[in-house]
Chains A and B, each alone.
Chain A
């Protein structure tokens, strides 16, 4: 089964090392007639917007992740650890909004971006993506589990809300913060629909959007497209390999594990 799962990967990698002639040849020949070559990678890296798209993807994913984690953690802290007027109602509205399919918001969001003169800017791609009610919920659930005694001890030492948040809650929440950051990063990196709609300038496209335009403009160039795809996939695969443990653990601790 695993082998079956890896075949498409293998085929993509294999194709990227072929000449264009071999890559478009018929059949499932894993070993190309003209031998293996790095030409496709050279061409892709030499011309085209791939490096620009990669930089855009990194900038956008990092910005979205940083902003999302910061504002979600702060909101989760407010909902979990403080009492302010309207807290319950606001939290209920936040939770309810998890059900809204983001896709139905693209039309009004696009209209809004037009009105705000933000179409074809980084801001248009980034800002709508930082709203992550599900992440607020996950973080709040985790914060709820931090023992009150720790917080009280800090209060007795004269710490204010900000200090409690910064020096007690955040350090204890590292695993869940890492998990949320990884989830947000993956989702942002691979998000297609919104970046696709909010950018038309190739200089602003992210990798998934840019890659999807490659085929239209160049016709059949399997080797180059495969090479571009592989270059576009490597960063996330590395992130996953580095953080596998956190990702699996976070699935369990967020309660998604069903316990």
Chain B
């Protein structure tokens, strides 16, 4: 019975086949495989050469005693570099500094950005001017940030201390006192980078639909109530995103610390990336520097996965 093919069935099957042939033809026309490769290749070449290959080289080097001055690829030393890294107090100290810097900067960089964006969004005229004022510092090269702030921070004739003195307070050794150095760097970082988070918040605020506010107003909600019950909940995803991006960015701190304190005083501000840099480029121990890099990379991956988990759960 199943083998009997009636003309009607044959016709139906035939048209199905023709249909799928037509679909296949459209598919081919819409998305020719060769063209896809052609378009992707330039990027993939650069991606392979300057991202995948160095990742591989770095991983390989971390198992050797490669040095910047040495010849060849160095001698394979197995896990020696990693064992050394875990026992190296410098790794732990600079990692501690990095984490401390991250904690110190992330909270104000989220809160100040939010407050600024709220102030600017809620009815200040000339928005573009505020945008420029807050974002402009983000556009400065790090060397300029360094130049301006090293003037402001000068202990005997800097502006910050003059201001303190006019209020009858003692001047502070902003960058040279172990107690203050990291806070000073945090202050510079806040001033320098808050503009980006500010823009993210501003964009998110502009995307909140007006009818939510109208509904809240109809229910008799005052300004504070609207802020707590409409604005802040609507900004939750943005806040999560900014926090994640900020933690990642702060963990990678190097430039401003390298310029302002070179990691001092007494290593109090030295981040792990500076330790990697010093190990590789000042002491020429590329193999060991790579191993420390990969330990740090591992920590970053774990942290990002943990953050993803926390924030994706909160959204559910």
List the interface of chain A (C-beta within 8 A of B): 1-2, 5-6, 8-9, 11-12, 15, 24-28, 70-72, 74-75, 77-79, 81-85, 87, 90, 94, 97, 99-101, 103-112, 127-128, 130-131, 133, 136, 151-152, 155, 160-162, 165, 186, 189-190, 192-193, 197, 207-212, 214-215, 222, 225-226, 228-229, 232-233, 236-237, 240-241, 244, 247-249, 251-252, 256-259
The dominant DSSP class at the B interface is: helix
Q: In the assembled complex, which residues on chain B have CB atoms less than 8 Å from the CB atom of A240?
A: 132, 135-136, 139
Q: In the assembled complex, which residues on chain B have CB atoms less than 8 Å from the CB atom of A256?
A: 200, 203, 241
List the interface of chain B (C-beta within 8 A of A): 27, 29-40, 42-44, 46-47, 49-58, 61, 66, 68, 115-116, 119, 128, 130-137, 139-144, 146-152, 156-157, 159, 162-163, 191, 199-200, 202-204, 206-207, 235, 237-238, 241, 248, 251-252, 254-255, 259, 273, 276-277, 280-281, 286, 289-290, 293-294, 296-297, 300-301, 304
Verify A233–B139 contact, CB threshold 8 A.
yes
Q: Known contacts A11-B152, A257-B204, A259-B204; decide if A112 and B57 are in contact (CB<8 Å).
A: yes
Verify B141–A155 contact, CB threshold 8 A.
no
Q: In the assembled complex, which residues on chain A have CB atoms less than 8 Å from the CB atom of B61?
A: 107-108, 111
Verify B199–A71 contact, CB threshold 8 A.
no
Verify B151–A15 contact, CB threshold 8 A.
yes
Verify A155–B30 contact, CB threshold 8 A.
yes
Cross-chain pairs A/B with CB under 8 angstroms, 15 sampled? A1-B115, A83-B31, A99-B301, A100-B55, A101-B300, A103-B254, A104-B293, A105-B51, A107-B289, A107-B293, A127-B46, A130-B46, A193-B255, A236-B141, A258-B204
Pick the contact of B34 from A84, A210, A232 — CB < 8 Å? Answer: A84
Verify A97–B132 contact, CB threshold 8 A.
no
Q: In the assembled complex, which residues on chain A have CB atoms less than 8 Å from the CB atom of B128?
A: 244
Q: In the assembled complex, which residues on chain A have CB atoms less than 8 Å from the CB atom of B37?
A: 78, 84
In the complex, how many angstroms separate the beta carbon of A189 from the nearest chain B beta carbon? 7
Q: Which 10 A-B pairs have the closest CB atoms?
A: A84-B36, A82-B36, A26-B157, A258-B238, A75-B43, A211-B143, A161-B35, A208-B141, A78-B39, A78-B40
